[in-house]
Structure 1
Amino acid sequence: MTPTTDCRYDWLGDPHELRACFPLMRVLRPHLSDADDFLQRLQRQAEQGYRLLAARAGDEVLGLAGCRLQENLLHGRFFYVDDLITREDLRSQGIGERLLAEARAEALRLGCANLVLDTALSNARGQRFYYRQGLLGIGMHFREGL
């Protein structure tokens, strides 16, 4: 299999297709307890515009990008990438690059001025990938647990 040519990239909506994404998403988000919890969270997030893009070969999920349309005073109308993951054994084969390209195309279709994402400061490998894809680090993301 050549992942960049043999897989398809689809925005998912069917619960069965979304459930099939749980094992890979759990690698990125290990706090997710089970597939039912995952589907409930996706449903709530969908009410806020979240959509899940999957790279698949047959029924096998190779990569995911979870995105949403947003608008604020800083970025204007933008497409935010909440989640981006490629299966570990398939990294550096073009799947993540294609997922971002598909997200970028959707952002343009929606009239967005920017594509925005956050990554952990400890994620040096991801940061290198994002720089190679043309994204620039412009700030730091802060949070406080409540």
Structure 2
Amino acid sequence: MSYVLTDVVPGDWRMTAHVRPLIRVLRPALTEEEFDRFVPEAHAQGLVFTAAHDVHGHCAAVATHRVLATSRGRILFVDDLVTRPDRRSAGIATALITHLTERARSSGCHRVELDSGTTNVTAHRFYHARRMTIAALHFTLPVADEV
């Protein structure tokens, strides 16, 4: 099956109908209201929401990404990459990675980078199979007061 890759912008009905449910599969703690507040702010910071739709208009996968200038060079950073559970292993995420790699090239980037949760072994196998390597560990330090 072929897929059409489309950038979805804030205000487009597909953001809430297609993108939000898929992002919430990846990030279940993110409420609908939090997602709706996050979208315009993140988009203003350069986040792009790319959705993969099948020939029937059903959204099968989403990638969120942005181009960043870093001290390591210009990169395309993938914030989120999620495929509907019933559509996994159909080549959709591979098509998205290929698309993002081409976008990175055309944007003058040196690399595509992403973070993946340490327990997401299935995703790690997928990334390794696409010649992605583990280049760093991502550390976090909460700064908000505990309630």
TM-score (norm 2): 0.90
The aligned counterpart of 1:12 is 8
One-letter code aligned to 1:18: M
* 1:59 CA drift (Å): 3.3
Deviations along 1:14-60, one digit per CA (max 9) or x if unpaired, are 521211211111010112211x4323211100111100110112332
User: What is the aligned counterpart of 2:126 among 126, 129, 141?
Assistant: 129
Output the CA distance in 2 between the equivalents of 1:17 and 1:104: 24
Q: 4+ runs of 1 displaced by more than 6 Å?
A: none
- Structure 1 unaligned residues grouped into runs of 5+: none
The aligned counterpart of 1:29 is 27
* 1:109 CA drift (Å): 1.1
Output the CA distance in 2 between the equivalents of 1:106 and 1:19: 25
The aligned counterpart of 2:64 is 66
The aligned counterpart of 1:144 is 141
Output the CA distance in 2 between the equivalents of 1:110 and 1:65: 17
* 1:120 CA drift (Å): 0.9
One-letter code aligned to 2:27: R
What SS does the aligned partner of 2:64 have? strand
What SS does the aligned partner of 1:11 have? strand
- Number of aligned residues: 140
Identity of aligned residues (%): 29
| Aligned partners of 1:81 and 1:115 also within 8 Å | yes
Output the CA distance in 1 between the equivalents of 2:5 and 2:101: 13
TM-score (norm 1): 0.90
One-letter code aligned to 2:30: L
The aligned counterpart of 2:111 is 114
